[in-house]
Amino acid sequence: MDAHGPLSSEGLVQLLTHTGERVEHDTYSAYAADLTPERLRQLWRDMTLVRAFDMEATSLQRQGELGLWVQSWGQEAAQVGSGRVLRGEDFAFPSYREHGVAFTRGVDMPDILKIFRGLQHGAWVPAEHHFHLYTMVIGAHTLHATGYAMALDRDGLTGTGDPERDAATICYFGDGATSQGDVAESLTFAAVHNAPIVYFCQNNQFAISESVTRQSRVALADRGKGVGIPSVRVDGNDVIACYAVTQWAMQHARSGAGPVFVEAFTYRMGAHTTSDDPTRYRSKADEEFWAERDPIDRLTAHLNAIDELPQDFQTDVAAEAKELAKRTRTAVKSWVRPHVLEMFDHAYAEPHATVETERAWLERFERSFADAEA
């Protein structure tokens, strides 16, 4: 695109063109060296499954089974590519659209829908997946990620000299979030404390209906430059480049060299949520342009071109995708809201007199009805 500033394609790191050709980059090619065809097939499988899950969730919402759904459609490369870099004590802080990252962190995908089915606010155990809960307040979690990174450092897990031991935090947020004060404060704290954190901004070009040009007049990666940390712009639909840049960034942070700002330039193929109507603020032409730059298609093209996408593999993955979709649907429809008194659990870690009194009252109130359960 011939746009300037935050919509510019200038200087985007790319290792796979949108038509599926491999290209090289002086700095980052080296960080994709471990992506053998086998590994590329795995990335292809990851993205395919994530998309299938996303489409199923969308259908479920359209069928009235979910109150809302937030699609990750179009951002699979950025999320899967970066997510597959994480290991050991690395910890990821998502916003609320990172289902692709969730997948790479071993979250059981249907669980995510508990949030959108209105059963829970948080649907997995962060410590088990090194993947924090979704945070609905835009940008608020970037501070948590920064603090976590500061703690990793304190715990001696940064720059130990042992790359296997070193760990860092990666924090995901969108273009709109970069305007939030908390994001600015996160960068400030991270810079001053040299915290081991990779800020991974998915510039999907929209904050609901507002173009990123409403958030910035320069490339978003310049935010990182503003606090004096290395900042990179990458083609967010190029899974190989996303993987490579994240690999470099995480190694940088883990080694104790400090924070990094990565901007993945991508496109939100769907609406902000299922309640949004993009026809009111963007054109079909725009969407078609970006459909041609689909992250999965270009990898398919590439693997086919190098004859590394056998038919039986594709069939297997298709079956897996179908199975995941079906399992998701069955799970969603099977969930029962827990007993109303569970609403009082976990407001506090230790008993709080008011909560206890009110819980007891609601219990008596519910029992006072003629149709109450025995």
Binding site for another protein (CB under 8 A): 55-56, 59, 61-65, 67-68, 118, 120-122, 125-127, 132-133, 135, 137, 140-152, 154-155, 181-182, 185-186, 188-189, 192, 273-277, 279-280, 325-326, 329, 345-355, 364, 368-372
Rounded Cα–Cα distance for residues 309 and 305 (Å): 9
Residue where the block lists tokens 């009805």: 369
Local structure of 57: helix, strand or coil:
helix
> Of 21 and 155, which CB lies nearer to another protein in the complex structure?
155
Q: What are phi and psi of 162, to 5 degrees?
A: -105, 100
Q: Which two tokens stand for residue 68?
A: 């809302």
> Of 112 and 299, which CB lies nearer to another protein in the complex structure?
112
Please say if 272 is a catalytic residue.
yes
**What is the closest distance, in whole angstroms, from the C-beta atom of residue 184 to another protein in the complex?**
8
**What is the closest distance, in whole angstroms, from the C-beta atom of residue 366 to another protein in the complex?**
10
Please say if 18 is a catalytic residue.
no
The rounded Cα 163 to chain-centroid distance in angstroms is 25
**What is the closest distance, in whole angstroms, from the C-beta atom of residue 274 to another protein in the complex?**
5
> Of 87 and 154, which CB lies nearer to another protein in the complex structure?
154
Question: Which residue in the list 51, 272, 293, 359 is annotated as catalytic?
Answer: 272
Q: Parallel, antiparallel, or unpaired: how do β-strands 197-203 and 91-93 relate?
A: unpaired
> Of 28 and 124, which CB lies nearer to another protein in the complex structure?
124
Q: Which two tokens stand for residue 133?
A: 């809960």
Please say if 45 is a catalytic residue.
no
CB neighbour class for 362 (10 Å; exposed up to 12, middle 13-18, buried from 19)? middle
Question: Which residue in the list 84, 117, 141, 268 is annotated as catalytic?
Answer: 268
> Of 4 and 339, which CB lies nearer to another protein in the complex structure?
339
Beta carbons of 169 and 198 less than 8 angstroms apart:
yes
**What is the closest distance, in whole angstroms, from the C-beta atom of residue 106 to another protein in the complex?**
16
Q: Parallel, antiparallel, or unpaired: how do β-strands 169-174 and 91-93 relate?
A: parallel
Question: Which residue in the list 62, 87, 121, 281 is annotated as catalytic?
Answer: 281
| DSSP 8-state class, residue 322 | H
> Of 212 and 321, which CB lies nearer to another protein in the complex structure?
321
Local structure of 304: helix, strand or coil:
helix
Q: Which of 263, 262, 281, 285 is nearest to 271 (CA)?
A: 281
| DSSP 8-state class, residue 157 | -
Q: Which of 114, 95, 122, 82 is nearest to 263 (CA)?
A: 82
Rounded Cα–Cα distance for residues 77 and 246 (Å): 12
Active site residues: 268, 272, 281
